Structure 1
Amino acid sequence: MTTGSLTMQQKRPEISARTAGHGLPQLGFGLGLRPQYYPDILDGDPPVDWFEAITENYLVAGGPPLRQLDRIAERWPVVLHGVSLSIGGSDTLDRDYLAQVKNLADRVKPQWISDHLCWSRHNGVQLHDLLPLPFNEETLRHVAARVRQVQDTLGRRFLLENVSSYVEWQSSTMTEWEFLSALAEEADCLLLLDVNNVYVSAHNHGSDADVFLAGIPASRVAQIHLAGHSNEGDLIIDTHDAPIVDPVFALYGRAIRRFGPVSTMIERDDNFPPFGELLAELDRVRQVAAMALRQAAA
């Protein structure tokens, strides 16, 4: 199968050969895979390096969505990003769900698999929110053990994403960045740094986003998320329904100066713009990253 002037065999080894210190490939600049854009992606050759698929959308035995994912995975690197693992919850990890994720990974061969550092299930009821955890030693031991279980089941290292938050636990004894750093070390997992979530949470809690970045170990950051949000004044809500704002682009540039050329993608989940507008936004991400790398090298 061809993709423009490059064959699949030519394109994917070139990308996969560029690996970072954690051993995962540096994929370049990608987009969240959304059904609204299937025709734009499959009927053309868009300048997108990779796609991130929402895991739960493809945990089926067959059907059109899975066939579309198969076609895209033949032409581009893909990663899987889950939203329902509830890694920090008190319910037992769902082994049936993990088996389905492993089967999907065996089928589409993702570059990596990720989910969120949160809890989203209680007493068997799956919630529709990614709820924050108390950052303390008890939670650290609980989550680290569950991450190791997930990695053993999937047979690969796992990425965890920092979530946006609107409340904090009084029982926390460490900062979010201290917790993430300790968890990555304890469980030997990697991190998906959501720069927009860093910005949102810093605004909501009156903390310093740059201190957050400085507290994260560079060797553990394997992916970056960017997205838009809704600003309600005193509260910012992570909605993924608007363009990335200038302060988040600026924070992203500082993240790239610290962490290097990390695989970066845009999430868009509502108010979908024409695909060309999303590609233009992705091009700006490339420009910000390139400028940041030049500044870091100066």
Structure 2
Amino acid sequence: MTSPTPDRLPADRMVGVGLRAPHLHTFQHEQPATGWLEIHSENYFNPHTAARQQLRAIAAHYPISCHGIGLSLGSADALDPAHLRQLKALVDELDPIAVSDHLSWSSVNGQYFNDLLPLPYTEEALTLFCHKVEQVQDALGREFLVENPSSYLRFSHSTMPEWEFLREVQQRTGCGLLLDLNNIYVSAFNHGFDCARYLAAIDPASVKEIHLAGFTVKALAEGEIWIDTHSCPVSEPVWQLYRQWIRQHGAVPTLIEWDLDIPALPVLLDEAAKARAILTEETINGSVTV
């Protein structure tokens, strides 16, 4: 199928869920109702795997979004040309509604870490990151989305807050944004900033996708830290951030993420139903036009 772009998804398909291995068979053979599906791109790079074959079958029935975790856009390393070629081949085959990765880095000197690490928010890092985003957009021949991260430490030599850095990336490259409201909520607690201040800095027109997920509270001797685990339902404060954003700015394609302790599919679909109910309610109230 030819996938619509995020801003052209029909009203009844605005909310999707992450496609994870335990649910591949169900989506392939039973096609449960959901608006769209998001994959982790790197899991499907090999065109000869059973998973890629299943994805081809599933993509005939659902719009797909390709969400990456391996471009390492904030690294001083050059982009991996093999990785970019594989991503382009996947995108060319699927014609996804969106392609995205993170405001983070995960490699140095060709060695990869199993994490999405924070950047120093400096002009030097901004220039490097923007150059990488432009390279990706040029290679793919389409708009690319950058997701705001969750983080657990900050660099003392940063010269701007994250929201200013992210806004500059968007303005300089023309990329879109994937706004993860749970990441903002988690990082706001960990670093002591105001979610409202962050969101006020974001250009609503640049937000092409929203992520919602759950987090874990970890108690340490020094105090609590909140961790973006995607292992539980969306918290009520994050639902409230979502409702506020939709009320103020309109409907945006929305994803429920659940990556650890993955529940039975009905639990995941129930979370998606909550997001659809918010979109419907705000539409009925006349706050948004879908």
* TM-score, L = length of structure 1: 0.90
- Deviation (angstroms), 1:88: 0.7
Equivalent residue letter for 1:146: K
Aligned to 1:118: 104
How far apart, in 2, do the equivalents of 1:291 and 1:271 lie?
A: 30
3-state SS of paired residue (2:60) = helix
Contact 1:257–1:296, Cα closer than 8 Å, also in 2: no
- Deviation (angstroms), 1:106: 1.2
Contact 1:241–1:271, Cα closer than 8 Å, also in 2: yes
- For residues 139-190 of structure 1, the C-alpha deviation after alignment (integer angstroms, 9 at most, x for no partner) is 1111111111111111111000011000011111111111111110101101
Equivalent residue letter for 1:76: Y
Report the count of equivalent residues.
Answer: 282
How far apart, in 2, do the equivalents of 1:57 and 1:214 lie?
A: 35
1:181 aligns with 2:167: yes
Contact 2:103–2:146, Cα closer than 8 Å, also in 1: yes
Map 1:16-55 to 2 at 5 A.
16=4, 20=7, 25=9, 28-55=14-41
The correspondence for 1:290, drawn from 261, 273, 280, is 280
Q: Could you list the structure 1 runs, at least 4 aligned residues long, displaced by more than 4 angstroms after superposition.
A: 24-27, 293-296
3-state SS of paired residue (2:272) = helix
Map 1:115-194 to 2 at 5 A.
115-194=101-180
- Deviation (angstroms), 1:61: 2.8
Map 1:57-96 to 2 at 5 A.
57-96=43-82
How far apart, in 1, do the equivalents of 2:157 and 2:210 lie?
A: 29
Equivalent residue letter for 2:273: D
| Aligned CA distance change for structure 1 residues 156 and 266 (closer, same or farther; 3 Å) | same
List gaps (5 residues or longer) in structure 1: 1-7
Equivalent residue letter for 1:248: V
Equivalent residue letter for 2:235: V
Equivalent residue letter for 2:153: V
How far apart, in 1, do the equivalents of 2:63 and 2:183 lie?
A: 25
The correspondence for 1:273, drawn from 263, 276, 288, is 263
Superposition RMSD in Å: 1.8
Aligned to 1:208: 194
How far apart, in 1, do the equivalents of 2:38 and 2:156 lie?
A: 35
How far apart, in 2, do the equivalents of 1:247 and 1:295 lie?
A: 21
Map 1:217-256 to 2 at 5 A.
217-232=203-218, 234-256=224-246
% identical equivalent positions: 41
- For residues 229-277 of structure 1, the C-alpha deviation after alignment (integer angstroms, 9 at most, x for no partner) is 1012521000011111111111111122233110001111111211111
* TM-score, L = length of structure 2: 0.92
1:263 aligns with 2:249: no
How far apart, in 1, do the equivalents of 2:70 and 2:43 lie?
A: 11
- Deviation (angstroms), 1:19: 6.3
How far apart, in 2, do the equivalents of 1:290 and 1:171 lie?
A: 44
Contact 2:6–2:253, Cα closer than 8 Å, also in 1: no
| Aligned CA distance change for structure 1 residues 154 and 45 (closer, same or farther; 3 Å) | same
- Deviation (angstroms), 1:282: 0.8
- Deviation (angstroms), 1:288: 2.1
- Deviation (angstroms), 1:297: 2.2
Equivalent residue letter for 1:124: G
